[in-house]
Amino acid sequence: MLSPSFGHLFRFKRTPEGGFNGIYVGAGPYISAKTALNVDDRLRQVLASNQDVRVPNTSFQIRDQSAGQAALAITVGYRGRLALLGSSSSESRRNGIYIAGNYHYLRGFRFDSADLQVRFDTDSGGLITLNPTVSPALADHLYSNRGNGYAVDIGVGAVVNRWQFGVGSNGIGNRIEWDSLRLERYALQSLFNGGNFVRQALPSSTSTTRVELPVDTNADVRYNGGSWAALAQAGHGYHGNIFHAGGEKRLGPIEVRGGARFSRDMWHPAVGLGFDLSNRFAIDVAATDSTANIQRMRKAIFAVSLRFNHEAKEN
């Protein structure tokens, strides 16, 4: 899901303690993509094996259902801050209760859905063979150029000195109704003889479809101890139940980081280092693992980023 918003917050009813109310008006792209890959377990075992494995007289199947949509989101929202009782602006510029909400009107420009089916048949020796009665690869493409919908975001946060709490939900009731649907099929007749996919226009069984995305809900708590900080976040959204936790310790110009995340029923540790080369420029390096492959085997991931600070960091 990608939905940045660009706009302006009009503040009014300011208070001496730093409280305010405001109306946000903005717009931006609303882009989503989803894929669901289903691979035959026997084929997973063949691919994951370190030895030469042959399965004779069988059929392996791979199926993938993918969908993507692109729209323009016109956003009207509320922003507010309530000062905590007994606090003053001299105690903390950030202390308070923060409330936010957005209503997005979605004007859809493109919807694509692909249902891909691939089939591998083996002979008596366990080698891939051609079955003349079936197509080894079929792809049904459903698409539209017009849609309308909406989505709602809400969130509440609190800052109390070094503590920060937050809870929110994005995409409540989100939906886009796509109409004037068109359907086409692409078929490949052989895996051996070359050739292109053959395109065939098909009548669509429906003229409209509704695309709904999962509601992304999360809660987090943070603590800033000056030279160190910690964060924990839990939620439910696109990948089911998730949990993130981590900490950072500053040792002079070096920041040491460590944490873990729980996603798709697996734990993934992570470590990192940050090097503050100046008040405005730093280099970050990190390492974690991923199981985003057919075999769901752990693979190491390394990342490097360059950080440019708009304002000089306070010591």
Quick: pLDDT tens for 134-162.
888 999 999 999 999 999 999 999 999 89
Q: How far apart are CA 291 and CA 298, in angstroms?
A: 5
From 226, 19, 161, 61, select the one nearest 11 (Cα to Cα): 19
List CB contacts of 97: < 8 A, sequence separation 6 or more: 81, 82, 84, 156, 157, 158
Q: How many helices (H) and strands (E) does the chain have?
A: 1, 18
The total of structural domains in the chain comes to 2
The last residue of one of the domains, among 222, 242, 269, is 222
The reply to whether 169 and 21 lie within a common domain is: yes
Same domain, 125 and 253: no
Q: What percent of the chain has pLDDT over 90?
A: 59
* 182 and 251 fall within a common domain: no
Q: Which of 222, 246, 276 is the last residue of a domain?
A: 222
Please report whether residue 253 resides in a domain: yes
Pick from 12, 25, 26, 151: nearest CA to 81: 12
| 52 and 145 inside one domain | yes
- pLDDT attached to residue 312: 52
Model pLDDT for residues 246-268, shown as the tens digit of each residue: 999 999 999 999 999 998 788 99
pLDDT at 269 over 70: yes
Please give the residue range of the domain that contains residue 232.
225-315
Residues 207 and 285 in one domain: no
Complete DSSP assignment for 210-250 = EE----EEEEEEEEE-SSEEEEEEEEEETTEEEEEEEEEEE
Pair 63, 181 in one domain: yes
Q: Across residues 63-88, what is the average pLDDT?
A: 88
Based on the fold, state whether residues 229 and 214 are members of the same structural domain.
no
pLDDT tens, position by position, 78-89: 999 988 765 555
| Count of residues in the chain | 315
